Structure formats: C-alpha cells, structure tokens
Structure 1
Amino acid sequence: MSTRTQLPTPGPDVAADPDAAVAWVGAHLGDLALEGAEGAEGLVASPAFRGGQPAADAALAALDVTGYAARRNEVWPEPRRGASRMSPYIRHGLVDLRSVWDRVADAPSRDRQKYRDELLWQEYARHVHARTGRGMRAPLRHEPAVGSGWSGEPWPAEMACMRLTTDELRRDGWLVNQTRMWLASQWTVRAGWDWREGEEEFFRHLLDGSRAANRLGWQWTVGAGTGRPYGFSRWQVEKRAPGVCAGCPLRERCPVDGWPDTTAPPRLLHRAPGLGRGEPGADLAGPSDVVATSAPRAVWLTFESLGDADPALDAHPELPVVVVFDEPLLARLRLSAKRLVFLAETVASLATRHDVEVHRGRPGEVLHGRDAAVTHAPVPGFGPRAVRASPAEVHPWPWLVRPGAGSVRSFTAWRKGARV
C-alpha cells in the first residue's frame, strides 16, 4: 500500500520567515514532530539558527577561528565562547568539510590546527560509522562507566548548570561541545542512566544530530570507546561557566561537588567488528566514481546533502529536485519541530533556485521509476532506500578523507594516517 503524498513546495516566505516555516511544518509534518501532541503552539523554530544555503554561506563567510584554541571549551557567558556554530550546516550538507577546512587556512597556526582537528573528529566519526553501521549503538570497546547512588532525574532543573544546558538544548537545538560532555557524563557516568537513551534525547533536539558524531561522542564520554570516562563535576562549571554556580539553589549542597563515584570500565571481551586494520565492516563509504545505469531525469537530495554543491545536483543543475520527508522514519524518531523547521527552511531556499518537488512517504516508493541521480549518503539507511529507488546515477560522497583499510580503533592513530 502506497503511503506517499506530494506536499506543496514551501515558498519564499518559508525561507525568509520563521513563523511561515513553523506554519508549513505544522500543516504538513506536525504530527511527526516531538511536540506534535501539544498542537500548533508546541511547534517552534530555533531562535539561534536559520536553515538554507544563504544562511550557511553567510556563516562560512563570517567564520573566524582566531582564538579558537583558547576559547573552544568556554561555555558562559556566551561572548566567551569560541565555538564556530557551523555544525548544523555541515550536518545537512549545506557546507562540506573541505570548504570549512580551506576557509580557515589563513588562521593563526594553533587555532587552525585545533579547529581542523575538530573537523577531522567529525570525519573520523563518519569513518567509524562507515565501518560499524548500526553497530555503533553497542559499546565499541569497553563497558560504559555507570554511576550509582543517584536518585531522581539525571538532569535536575534545580541544578543551575543542568538548567542552563538543557534549556539551550531544547530551545536552540544546539550545544557547545563542552556542555555536550557535561550532559552525557552526568546522565550515565554519574546518574547511571543508559547512555543510548541520552543519545536519543540529544538526537531528537540537536539540529546537527547525526548518529555518527552523536553516538561516538557519547561513547567517548562514558568510556565505551576509550576506557577513560569523562567525569563531570562542579570544577568544570566554575572554570568554563564562571558565575553559574553562584546563582544555583544547590550551591551549598552541590550534588556534583566531587568526582563521580565510578571505576574505570572493564575492557570488553570482544569489540565491535570492523574497527581493526583491514577488517570488513558495514562499508558505508560508497563509490569512488559515479555509477551510472541510465540518463537521470531528476535529482534526489537526501537530508545528508541538501546544499547547492551536492555532487549529483552540481552535475545536473537543470533537472527537477525531489526531496522526501521519510514518514516511517520520522514517525519513529520523533524529531523536535526545531529540526523540521530548519529542514523546511532549507528546502524552501533550495526552491528559489531549482524546481523542487516535496513528498512525504517512503523514499523508495517516491523515487522508484524516476531515474534520479543521487549522492551516496554514508548512513546505514541509504543502501536499502537506494535499492528500492533504483537511481540512475550514484555520485560519490565528498569525503575530506576517504575511508580506507586502516584501523579506526582510536582517533589518535587514525589521525596520524589521515591524508587531507
């Protein structure tokens, strides 16, 4: 039974006005959003980010990482921060890693190196994902460090540091890396909750939520990837967010005043397949050259790659573009409306430059028989969907470092072998 529905293409007003974008999402995707049960008043846009190629281009043009090495871990007040805020645009392919890498070429050497290391961490996460696929949901090398003795919610609102960070997560759909580690460590290493549930909470809200970076970040923080968990405590808050503790109702009886009561996680008797040198994995790297079976009549853009520089779109800018909101997937994920609005704004912006069709349904059903060109997406779901869609052309993913047969057991070892 077909479940596909063609939606009205969001117009220029959706690209320009967050209220119009929220209204479009409410009318066509609201029942799939995390806040859908609250009705239209529960659907909101992120006040911190706008979707679309112009917003991404402006962010890239304004990118200045001078001082990044010293300020990248600062949290509060916001002017202290050194984070670039490029991640939502990188996540959805509006800017690729190579463009950001080149953009910072003239930055001070220490800042350039630190920032490029962060870009390589994003690429490393994709490599691990390409080798392990859905196996990233299981601990890669160690049992997580799980705290005990904590009662109540892992992120209690009466803790000023938790209120500050969770409010930003749920309001803006974005966090600096330091507070991502705070929340992940607090959730599992101290409070003892399952890290996979916390990862899901991040994924629902983050505009840049990706299974590759999000899961690897959580595994690193809880010690499942390295055996060395990150211990969140008051010390980090006072160092990175001065003044927050002074206004906390619990400042005289802080529940995170000392180090978490955990021991180093034991090494697993096994490890995830595909991490070692030359080991077979899920191999989500995709083709190294264009694979063509017929002449394309449309371009299929996935939500991994919605930018004007998408390789398939760049090769066929004259063809109509097809975008599919995957109804079964979105019904299962229950993403926050903030992320759906960001995507709607991006599609609306795209439609000002291309003939765009928007559908709600199963991508394989919508694209089957369309002879579409598509860019390979390095995520587990792409392969099955591409089989059903039978694309006319599959273009290579624009890797910063193309995956090879080397070990991905650690970022440090992988980094030494990476050739950019």
Structure 2
Amino acid sequence: MRASPGIRGGQTAADAALAAFDVTRYAATRNQVLPESDRGASRLSPYIRHGLLGLREVWAAAAGPASDVSKFRDELLWQEYARHLYARVGMDLHRNLRFDVAWSGEFAPEAWPRQMACIDWAVSSLERDGWLVNQSRMWLASQYSVRSGAGWAAGQEYFHRQLLDGSRAANLLGWQWTVGAGTGKPYGFARWQVERRAPELCAACPLNQHCPIQDFPPDSHPLPVPEPSPRLVRDDDLAATRGPTAVVSRSIPQSVVLTVESLGDADPALLAHPTLPVVFIFDEPALVKLQLSSKRLIFFVQTLQDLATRREVIVHLGDPRDITSRLRAAITWAPVPSFAKYVDIAAELHPWPWLAEPHARSVKSFSAWRNNLVQPM
C-alpha cells in the first residue's frame, strides 16, 4: 500500500491547502506542467471531489486579480456542470454523448507509448501521485483515443482507479470532451503543447529527433450519435436530478453515514447531528469491481483518521445496503446513480449543497448549461 507523496487526505489538509492557494496568475499558469514551481493549478480537486471543500466555500475564498478569479471560478463551474450532467443522464455518461468516436474495448496500455518522454512522465505521475495537471490529462486522453484509436471508456476507467479526484462526473466529462464525443472536435495533442507546457520533457526525450507527435493529427469530424439522450435537451424529472430540497425525516437518527461524495466536516447531515457517531462503509462489492489504487484508499483512511480526532468514527467493510439498513442513519443525498442504494433506507436525508441549482433546460454543452442557469454565475 502506498500513499500519494504530495496530497494527504483529511479536513485539516484540505483547509490548509485552501488557505495556502493563491489565485494570482492562475489564468496564465493553470495549464503549466513543468517545472512544478511554475504551475498555477490549485491541487484542490481531490478535496473538492470528496466534499472536504465545498464548491460554495472555494468560490467564496477566491480573491485576487479579477481575470484570475474569473478563470478559477469558471473551472469550479465546470465541476458543477459535470455534477449536473451526471445527475441528469446517469450511466449514459459512460457512452458517447453526442458524437460517435471509439469508446468500447479492453484497456490498452500500449496506447500510451512509454518511449515518448511526455507520455512516460504523465503515466508515471498518474500512477505515483494520483494527480495530474489538466493539460497532461488531456495529453493522455488524446494520445489514448485520438492518436492510438483505443476506446476511451477503458482509458477513463484507468484514470478513475488512479486519480485521488477520480469523480465519475468530471472524469467521464473530461474524456468525452477531449476525444470529441461531447463536442465533435477532438483535442489535437502535438509536440507544440509539450514544448510550451513542459519543455524539459522534449529536451530529454529519446525520440526528440523523430517525434511521433511532431504535427497535429489529421482533422477528424465524427458523426453525431444516431439517438442521443433526450435528457441532454430537457429534464422531465428535475426533482430526481436535484434531489431533496429540504430534510426528509422518517425516524430519529442514531448515526450519520458519510459517503465518498461528502466526507467533510461541513457535510449537512454531519452538521445537523454534532453528537451522533459517524459511520463510513467501505463498499466491498464496489471495491472488488473498481480495483481502486492504494493511493485512493489511503486518502480515505487519512480522512477518517483526521475526522476521528473530532468525532466518534466507526468504519465497516461490506455491503452498504445491508449495513445502513440497521443503522437508522442520517445521510446527505448525493448526485450520483450509486446513491440510490441509500434513498429508501436512510432515517433522514439531507439536501445536497449545490453551487448552482439544476435546471430543466439544455445541458448539451457547458455554455448552454451556464446560459440557462436560474441564477447566472
């Protein structure tokens, strides 16, 4: 078992990371890969993904030059868009949303040629640290699917196993947009991006004089999928997408169950019951299926250890349906399909703290979703 060397789990670590983040020059440097000292990326994503930092909290904490604050908040809105989209279309996000590109097949590690310094560095960083700058995530996704022709679903699954911020919503959406399944315009990974964002990789690459990505890949124009989900255009069940808007109480809770979507001290159910024991269930059937990296599991353990300095924490390994049904637990609703297992067995359901309320109009693109927000951000 090996932890991420640079990102530790827990509310204490999350609060420290947010306090230390300086948004100045974020717009210009968020995609810088190397040297690390020049990176402007926040590294807050693992804490945001697991609810240790809420989007509202991070939004409010952003202070600095207007252009940098605006760009940073755009990225927070992208995270919120991913959550809205996943809450609405569910498992359809695992398939091509709008344009027909290769997506099925077994994981193909050869689609990431390790003799390329940029690819070798990015894959090694992913496997060692469990985190990558967005730019290098796009390099890997584009190389895997656009250049190598492998089905993107297996590539994103490998990301999900390794990334500390491995959110189904954000990860699936990122791959869809990079490979062109969401926009019809694949991201054209080429040497130019590496020389601009990580020049030392090209300088040391054994293929420097024979670069296989010297030029952009040929333009491709994937055809629209024959029957895209009608839920991309409208939501006929907004209540299901949004979740409860007020506390749903069935009986007096005797515990609080935290899920991987919401592990922070500000979890609504946790705040509502400050004296109840806190329960976390390592979902054994899901762990067997997903085969998450040790880095991800240790991040959870570190988070629970940190919480245990403030609250009584009880940890189980097993099937959450069986265990939760015996607990009379308060739980915060989460905008993911897997939360369905808790809906009917929770003693009390608390609303999800959205940054922006979901709407019933188009979510075909980020701009369409944003333009249709009830409260413009």
Instruction: Name the TM-score, length of structure 1 as normaliser.
Output: 0.86
SS at match of 1:324: strand
Distance 1:73 1:378 in 2: 28
Matched ranges for 1:224-235 at <5 A: 224-235=181-192
Matched, 1:312 2:273: no
Whether 1:352 and 2:309 are equivalent positions in the alignment is yes
Report the alpha carbon displacement of residue 262 of structure 1 after superposing the two structures with TM. 4.7
Q: Distance in 1 between matches of 2:4 and 2:141?
A: 22
Whole-Å separation in 1 of the counterparts to 2:100 and 2:330 = 42
Q: From 92, 98, 123, give the equivalent of 1:141.
A: 98
Task: Report if the CA contact (8 A) 1:131-1:282 is conserved.
Answer: no
- Are residues 278 and 301 of structure 1, via their aligned partners in 2, closer, same or farther at CA, if it must alter by over 3 Å? closer
- Residues 103-126 of structure 1, C-alpha deviations (whole Å, 9 max, x = no match): 00x321100110000000000000
How far apart, in 2, do the equivalents of 1:284 and 1:257 lie? 44
Q: CA 1:65 to 1:152, structure 2 compared with 1: closer, same or farther past 3 Å?
A: closer
Partner of 1:402: 357
Task: Give the Å deviation of 1:285.
Answer: 2.4
User: What does residue range 61-72 of structure 1 map to in structure 2 within 5 Å?
Assistant: 61-72=19-30
Shift of 1:272: 2.0
Q: Is the 8 A contact 1:323 1:356 kept in 2?
A: yes
Give the C-alpha shift of residue 205 in structure 1: 0.2
CA contact (8 A) 2:238 2:360 kept: no
CA distance in 2, matches of 1:329, 1:284: 23
Number of the residue aligned with 1:250: 207
Question: Matches of 2:238 and 2:214 in 1, distance apart?
Answer: 42
| Root-mean-square deviation over aligned CA pairs | 1.5
Residues 326-359 of structure 1 show CA distances to partners (whole Å, capped at 9, x for unaligned) of 0000010000000100000001111111111100
Alignment of 1:155-234 (within 5 A): 155-234=112-191
CA distance in 2, matches of 1:358, 1:96: 23
SS at match of 1:323: strand
Alignment of structure 1 residues 327-338 onto 2, 5 Å: 327-338=284-295
Shift of residue 386, structure 1, vs aligned partner: 3.2
Corresponding residue to 2:245 among 288, 293, 318: 288
2:367 matches 1:412: yes
Within 2, Cα distance between the matches of 1:205 and 1:152? 14
Q: Which amino acid aligns with 1:413?
A: A
- Displacement of 1:417 after TM fit? 2.8
What is the letter of the counterpart of residue 41 of structure 2? A
Asked whether the equivalents of residues 145 and 263 of structure 1 are also in contact (C-alpha less than 8 Å), the reply is no
CA deviation after TM superposition for structure 1 residue 93, in Å = 0.6
The separation in 2 between residues aligned to 1:337 and 1:370, in whole angstroms, is: 28
Cα 1:186/1:45, change in 2 over 3 Å? same
Per-residue CA deviation, residues 211-265 of structure 1 (Å, 9 max, x unaligned), is 1000000000011111111010111101111121111001111111111235211
Question: In 2, are the aligned partners of 1:219 and 1:225 still within 8 Å (CA)?
Answer: yes
Letter in 2 for 1:44: R
Gaps of 5+ in 1: 1-42
Asked whether 1:366 is paired with 2:323, we answer yes
Q: Alignment partner of 1:283: what SS?
A: helix
Q: How many residues align?
A: 371
Q: Cα deviation per residue 1:22-61 (whole Å; 9 max; x = unaligned)?
A: xxxxxxxxxxxxxxxxxxxxx2110011101100010111
Q: Distance in 1 between matches of 2:26 and 2:92?
A: 33
What amino acid maps onto 1:210 in structure 2? Answer: S
Residue deviations 1:274-309 (CA, integer Å, cap 9, x gap): 111344489342101111111111101011101110
Counting aligned pairs with the same residue, the percent is: 57
Checking the alignment, whether the CA contact within 8 Å between 1:184 and 1:222 is kept in structure 2 is: yes
Partner of 2:15 in structure 1?
57
User: Is residue 2:51 matched to residue 1:98?
Assistant: no
1:113 matched residue in structure 2: 70
The SS at the match of 1:370 is coil
Query: Contact 2:49 / 2:165 at 8 angstroms: preserved in 1?
Result: yes
Relative contact order higher in (CA < 8 Å, ≥ 6 apart): 1
Matched letter for residue 392 of structure 1: A
Provide the rounded CA distance (Å) in 2 between the counterparts of 1:229 and 1:142: 10
Q: Given the alignment, which residue of 84, 89, 93 partners 2:47?
A: 89
